[in-house]
Structure formats: C-alpha cells, structure tokens
Amino acid sequence: MEYTMETLAQSCAECQNCPLGATRTNLVFGTGNPNADLMFVGEAPGEQEDLSGIPFVGRAGQLLDKFLYAVDIDRKDVYIANILKCRPPKNRDPLPEEEDACIGYLREQVRLIKPKIIVCLGRISAMRLIKPDFKITKEHGMWFEKGTFFMTAVYHPAALLRDPRKKEEMLEDMKAIKQKLDETETAN
C-alpha cells in the first residue's frame, strides 16, 4: 500500500500489533515539518507525550528545544518521531518485539519525509537505527552514512536531565548537526 502521512497515521492509530496499543492514552505518531531535511528519532513516548499525543513535550522535550534554539534550528523546521508510537508502562525501555511491531511505521515516515539527516536521540534509538552494538558514550556525534542520509546519535535529553555534565558534549554534537544541515542545504 502506498501511504500518505495521513493514511499512515490512521493505520498507526488502529494498530494493535503489540499490547501497547490497548494501554495508550494517545497515539504519539510524530510532529513537525513533513518535508524536513532533519529528523530526530527517540525511543518511545513518555507520560507527557502519551497525554498530549505529541513527541518530546515533557521535560526532556523542553531541554531538546533549548538545544535546538542554541544552534539556531527551529523546531517547526524539523520532524520528531519515536520508534514506538505508544508509551511503554512506567516509561520502561521498549521491548524488542514492541520495536519490531512498530519499526515499519517509522520506516514509512522516513520514506515519506525523505530527510537528509536522521539524529537518534539516545542509545536505544541508535542501537536500532545505526548498529546493534552502538555505544552512546563513545560514539555520540559520530557520522554514519546509511542509504541516502547521514545519521548520528546524541545523548537522550532525559539522560542529560539525570547527568547535566554531558550537556557540553550535547551542545557540541548539536553544533555539528547544524553544520551538517547547512552543508546539505547548500549542496542542493
């Protein structure tokens, strides 16, 4: 089936491929510019996201917004999604079978958006999208070419809330993302 963003969201809203579909308050499909050159992918919605239906609106999302602002990237110009579209109980890590049930939706979002850069927010996203043995503390900010896009991973904003000492590294990674974004835009 050839999806549009609307039909994909509708299909996702009806999804019962794993038990999380029955426990969510809201589907957290994704938000932002559907033609974005820059896409951020987290692991799964948290409580605030489940309540609002919008990814990265809680404390971690507010911190992400500050980093975007600091490097002159407007949130409305990017697209933000998660691997899972439903919140795991008590914000636990997604189970592999939940990721497997949901990854097709993310792949289709990427196909529709056609970003030039995908940034994994945190270890879990990086392990699923970049490589299974990804080490966030050693490999954050490193660039990988996959298909038609560049990929990198940064610390998850929630991890920065727990360990603010990593904020300086995050800022450097975000500056590099902005630089790569500018390079891809001038290349066209």
Measured in residues, the chain has a length of 188
Residue pLDDT, tens place only, 29-59: 999 999 999 999 999 999 999 999 999 999 9
Q: Can you give the pTM of this predicted structure?
A: 0.97
Residue pLDDT, tens place only, 3-27: 999 999 999 999 999 999 999 999 9
Strand ranges across the sheet with 31-32: 31-32, 79-82, 38-42, 117-121, 149-154, 144-146
Residue pLDDT, tens place only, 104-151: 999 999 999 999 999 999 999 999 999 999 999 999 999 999 989 999
The CATH T-level fold of domain 21-186 is Uracil-DNA Glycosylase, subunit E (3.40.470)
Domain locations in the chain?
A: 21-186
